[in-house]
Amino acid sequence: MATWNELFSDERFIDQLPQPEVYKFVKKLEGVFPERPLILWDLCCGAGRHTVLLSRMGHQVYGSDAAINGISNTQKLLEDNLLKAELKVSDMTKFPFEKVKFHGVISWDALHHNTYANISSSVRLVHENLVDKGMFMLTLLSSKGGAYGQGTEIEKNTFVKDSGSETGVPHHYFDEKEVRTLFKGWKIVILAEQVYTYVETEPDFYMTNPFPYTKWNIIVQK
């Protein structure tokens, strides 16, 4: 069974470039909050591409992930670029920092790697630790995605892959109703379903696929 820790020891599975959406989200936050630096959390930061971006943008950055190799890589990237962030190895259902409230939290392509109850706990933690009007940007897999149904269903809409690089990794797929339930009590700023239909592909195209997959792009506000 491949763990994220193992995946992060193989360069092929480390995304190097940050998503432009994350940069635009920070610009949006800078428009909402006049104070500087903003205090930002990269939740499930992986190998660190967004932690580095946020720090480079001049903000006070916190990053956490369950994979120790991801956190080590993030630390190295920060040091190589003479940047700083506070990093913790931590499960998404635990709050790893002390006495800090965030203007913004990002979690890119990560929270859906869990059961619904654990994803829900993580979202609650984010809400508790945002300042008033703080925003959360995240992506979640959509139930319209082509990989829906692959693997063993361990609860409704959560599948654990039986083969490939993500063997053993859970994936929860959301429909609109479930996304709205997850963010009950938040203000929805943007709820967008990005649907990608792969009409024809080579086998194993996903190993080097430059295009996105079908997912929810979400910005919510406390």
CA distances from 55 to 8, 47, 76 (A): 21, 14, 14
Torsion angle of the four alpha carbons 86, 92, 94, 99, in this order, in degrees rounded to the nearest 10 = 40
Yes or no: say if 21 and 50 are a contact pair by the CB < 8 Å rule.
no
Our CB check for ligand SAM shows the closer of 38 and 52 to be: 52
Our CB check for ligand SAM shows the closer of 50 and 172 to be: 50
Q: In this structure, what DSSP letter does residue 176 have?
A: H
Our CB check for ligand SAM shows the closer of 49 and 103 to be: 49
Q: Which of 25, 38, 70, 129 binds ligand SAM (CB under 6 A)?
A: 70
Yes or no: say if 187 and 111 are a contact pair by the CB < 8 Å rule.
no
Cα Rg, the chain, nearest whole Å: 17
Our CB check for ligand SAM shows the closer of 70 and 104 to be: 70
Q: Is 52 in the site for ligand SAM (CB under 6 A)?
A: no
Q: Is 171 in the site for ligand SAM (CB under 6 A)?
A: no
Residue 62, CB-side half-sphere exposure with 13 Å CA sphere: 23
Q: Is 65 in the site for ligand SAM (CB under 6 A)?
A: yes
Q: Amino acid identity of 149?
A: G
| Binding range to ligand SAM, per CB under 6 A, among 46-54, 72-80, 159-167, 206-214 | 46-54
Our CB check for ligand SAM shows the closer of 24 and 180 to be: 24
Alpha carbons 102 and 59: distance in angstroms, whole number: 11
Which residues in the 79-118 window bind ligand SAM by CB under 6 A?
Answer: 91-92, 108-110, 113-114
Q: Which residues bind ligand SAM (CB under 6 A)?
A: 4, 15, 44-46, 49-50, 65-67, 70, 91-92, 108-110, 113-114
